Amino acid sequence: MQKINCFRGFTFSAIKIHSQIAIIGGGTAGLNIAAQLIGDGHAIPQQIRIFEPSKMHAYQPGWTMVGGGLCNVKKTLKPMEQVLPKNISVSDSAVTKINPQKNEIETQDGGIYTYDQLVIATGIQTNFDQIKGAQKYLDDLNSPVASIYNYKYAVKMNRLVEEFEGGNILYTEPPLPIKCAGAPQKIIYLSHDRLNKRGIKTHHHFYKTAGVIFGVPKYAEILTELCKNKQINCHFKQKLVEVQDHIAIFENQDTKELKSVTFDLLHLVPPQFPAQFIAQSGLGDSAGFAHVHPNTLQHVTYKNIWSLGDCSSLPTSKTAAAVMAQTPVLVKNLIRTWKYKLDPIPGYLGYTSCPIFTSQTKLLLAEFKYNSELDETFPIFQSNESRLMFHLKKDFFPIAYWQIMVRGLWGGRDGLRFFKGA
């Protein structure tokens, strides 16, 4: 017990609860780290504390399939207690501050916790409010505005496409980084195919803030051709800044000129940012992401702090697939430095993957690493849209996530993990 405050003669005190390993965030990265630390025998569950305010865990990659009519939303959500490792310590209040000099964490409910090792895994926050009017039209069930970046609005997207009777569909993409940078265009190809099959006359327009369709030249070439064949019009350097009744307003990124475009359906993607407490705690890079070494995942200043996933500064595309490749490296390095006083190994080379649905039956699997270098697992299937890759993504990955990943057994493309690997 430690005194923390005095006021008019009264002494307030707070218990500082200690854990060997604190993990902030029980999303894909936080769960995977906890499960692998326990599975590998490095820590007992009671010595690990996860900070996670959300009652539900989401398989977010499934939301593209929800919006695209390929999956029921119920299959993408599970109560948190069903996915957390058994007997792990949990705090359900959001973290508001880290004091890295004192190895302390503060939570919204006033709690103070200490740690030996800390993993920051808070993801990236979606902010629909940054687009004027967006939230209002998303929440209005009668308005033709939706987004797969939220499970409720993904359900709405599915309904809107199902009921669509023709006209202009606009799809947008905000400034990068965002989670799964391929998702804003996956929903185009899925919707395009559904409407085509129903014979609905539609004009599809893709408005991107960036200047290219995809960051890796090989896939950019394939996707450019695909858009040409499907008559999807791409508009680059156009940022959605406001939504009005059936009107979207874009800002040209070069000239700052505003342009109004009418729509019959709008699919928008929210701007995304790291949690503010990371930068406020002195742990962020210039953009506020947890500043870690790109190959070891160790914080650049504090050697007992680690980060992975969407909230980290790792300069790769933010995906669950990347998390699967990052987790074993982080676990190994945390244990090496903490328990054996060895240097961390620069084992992560930026692997990430983006399975891009190109229709209701085919998919282009993009896999790459740092500097947009290709890092393909099945090269013969990855130069074209593939039916096999479609089924891998639609049928196998959700099972792998819920049955294998949350138990720490999924090693990404290395397949099943056999423990004691670190």
Cβ contact 296:109 at 8 Å = no
Question: Exposed, middle or buried, 318 (CB in 10 Å: 0-12/13-18/19+)?
Answer: buried
Quick check: 98 binds ligand FAD (CB under 6 A)? no
Stretch that binds ligand FAD, among 46-54, 209-217, 224-232, 371-379 (CB under 6 A): 46-54
Return the structure tokens found at 381: 């299937």
Cβ contact 174:208 at 8 Å = no
For ligand FAD, the binding residues in 361-420 under the rule CB under 6 A are: none
Return the structure tokens found at 70: 């390929």
C-beta closer to ligand FAD: residue 49 or 318: 318
Quick check: 40 binds ligand FAD (CB under 6 A)? no
Quote the least distance from Cβ 199 to ligand FAD, whole Å.
28
Cα separation values, 387 from 184, 191, 360, Å: 21, 17, 10
Stretch that binds ligand FAD, among 115-123, 197-205, 297-305, 411-419 (CB under 6 A): 115-123
Q: How many CA atoms lie within 13 A of 301 on its CB side?
A: 10
> What is the DSSP code string of 341-376?
-PPPP------EEEEEE-SSS-EEEEEEEGGGEE--
For ligand FAD, the binding residues in 169-198 under the rule CB under 6 A are: 179-180, 183
Quote the least distance from Cβ 31 to ligand FAD, whole Å.
8
Total binding residues for ligand FAD by CB under 6 A? 36
Residue from 19, 36, 64, 76 binding ligand FAD (CB under 6 A): 64
Quick check: 21 binds ligand FAD (CB under 6 A)? no
Torsion angle, alpha carbons of 108, 110, 116, 122, to 10: 0
C-beta closer to ligand FAD: residue 238 or 317: 317
Task: Identify which of 285, 350, 290, 306 has the alpha carbon closest to the alpha carbon of residue 124.
Answer: 290
Exposure letters 370-401 (e unless 16+ CB within 10 A, then b): bebeebbeeeebbeebbeebbebbbeebbebb
Q: Indicate the residue whose CB is closest to ligand FAD.
A: 27
Contacts with ligand FAD, 262-281, as mask; x by CB under 6 A: -------------x-x----
CA quadruple 39, 45, 48, 49: dihedral sign: positive
Quick check: 321 binds ligand FAD (CB under 6 A)? yes
Quick check: 94 binds ligand FAD (CB under 6 A)? yes
Candidates 180, 227, 234, 311; catalytic one: 180
Return the structure tokens found at 37: 């630390």
Quote the least distance from Cβ 86 to ligand FAD, whole Å.
19
Active site residue 71: no
Cβ contact 272:179 at 8 Å = yes
Amino acid at 219: Y
CA gap 353, 396 in Å, rounded: 15
Quote the least distance from Cβ 353 to ligand FAD, whole Å.
6
Quick check: 28 binds ligand FAD (CB under 6 A)? yes
Residue from 19, 76, 122, 202 binding ligand FAD (CB under 6 A): 122
**Packing angle between helix 320-339 and helix 28-39, nearest 10 degrees?**
40
How many beta carbons lie within 10 A of that of residue 253, not counting itself?
16
Candidates 71, 234, 311, 354; catalytic one: 354
For ligand FAD, the binding residues in 155-174 under the rule CB under 6 A are: none
Active site residue 180: yes
Quote the least distance from Cβ 256 to ligand FAD, whole Å.
29
C-beta closer to ligand FAD: residue 13 or 361: 361
Residue from 309, 344, 411, 412 binding ligand FAD (CB under 6 A): 309
Q: Given the rule CB under 6 A, which residues bind ligand FAD?
A: 24-30, 51-54, 60-61, 63-64, 94-95, 121-123, 148-149, 179-180, 183, 275, 277, 309-311, 318-321, 323, 355
| Residues identified as active-site | 180, 354
